[in-house]
């Protein structure tokens, strides 16, 4: 087992660390067909998040064909940022969010085997912002396609602390 990723972003709170990264939580657009989150017991299940910003999908295509690894990683970070925004909707404050599990879906070519490298970018963001509360179990899955031809989608289960 490798050593844990060190907390490299300075700040006393998750909000301060988010600001130190030059990021802010987006306002999520609602949907007629789904809830942004659903609480069952102490678990909060977040709907899958795509890399939307201001209502626009930041990238489209298949990783390994139309989309480079580095671009897919940036898209994964943005999808994780959207997941944090949904988590804050559920618990009310970024400092109360604890990530339990993250599923990362990567639309890639059949021979693209770097789903974990795409997912690492999202994991790093969660740890940079939330510290120990951002450490999580994770699965990275290669798929043939995603909604809107997005290269990545992220689903998160979290709790409130």
Give the predicted TM-score (pTM) of the model: 0.92
Report whether pLDDT(5) > 70. Answer: no
Among candidate residues 98, 96, 127, 95, the one with its CA nearest the CA of residue 16: 95
Q: Which residues pair with 108 in a beta bridge?
A: 63
- The tokens of 137 are what? 């179990």
Burial (Cβ within 10 Å: 0-12, 13-18, ≥19) of residue 113: exposed
Is residue 128 within 8 A of residue 99, CB to CB? The reply is no
DSSP letter assigned to residue 22: T
Domain ranges of the chain: 14-24+37-160
Longest CA–CA span in the chain (Å) reads 43
- Residue pLDDT, tens place only, 90-112: 999 999 999 999 999 999 999 99
Residue 3 has pLDDT above 60, yes or no: no
Tell me the CATH number of domain 14-24+37-160, given options 3.30.1330.40, 2.60.40.730, 2.30.30.90, 3.90.230.10. 3.30.1330.40
Run of H or E residues at 157: strand 152-160
Predicted confidence (pLDDT) per residue in 17-47, tens digit: 999 999 999 888 777 778 889 999 999 999 9
């Amino acid at each position: 087992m490798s050593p844990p990723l060190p907390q490299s972003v300075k700040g006393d709170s998750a909000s301060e660390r988010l600001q130190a990264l030059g990021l802010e939580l987006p306002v999520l657009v609602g949907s007629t067909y789904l809830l942004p989150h659903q609480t069952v017991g102490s678990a909060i299940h977040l709907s899958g998040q795509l890399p939307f910003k201001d209502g626009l999908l930041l990238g489209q295509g298949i990783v390994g064909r139309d989309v480079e690894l580095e671009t897919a990683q940036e898209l994964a970070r943005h999808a994780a940022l959207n997941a944090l925004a949904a988590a804050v909707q559920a618990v009310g404050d970024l400092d109360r969010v604890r990530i339990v599990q993250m599923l990362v879906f990567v639309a890639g070519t059949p021979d693209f085997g770097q789903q974990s490298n795409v997912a690492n970018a999202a994991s790093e963001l969660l740890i940079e912002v939330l510290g120990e509360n951002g450490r999580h179990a994770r699965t990275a899955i290669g798929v043939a396609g995603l909604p809107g031809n997005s290269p990545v989608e992220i689903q998160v289960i979290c709790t409130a602390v």
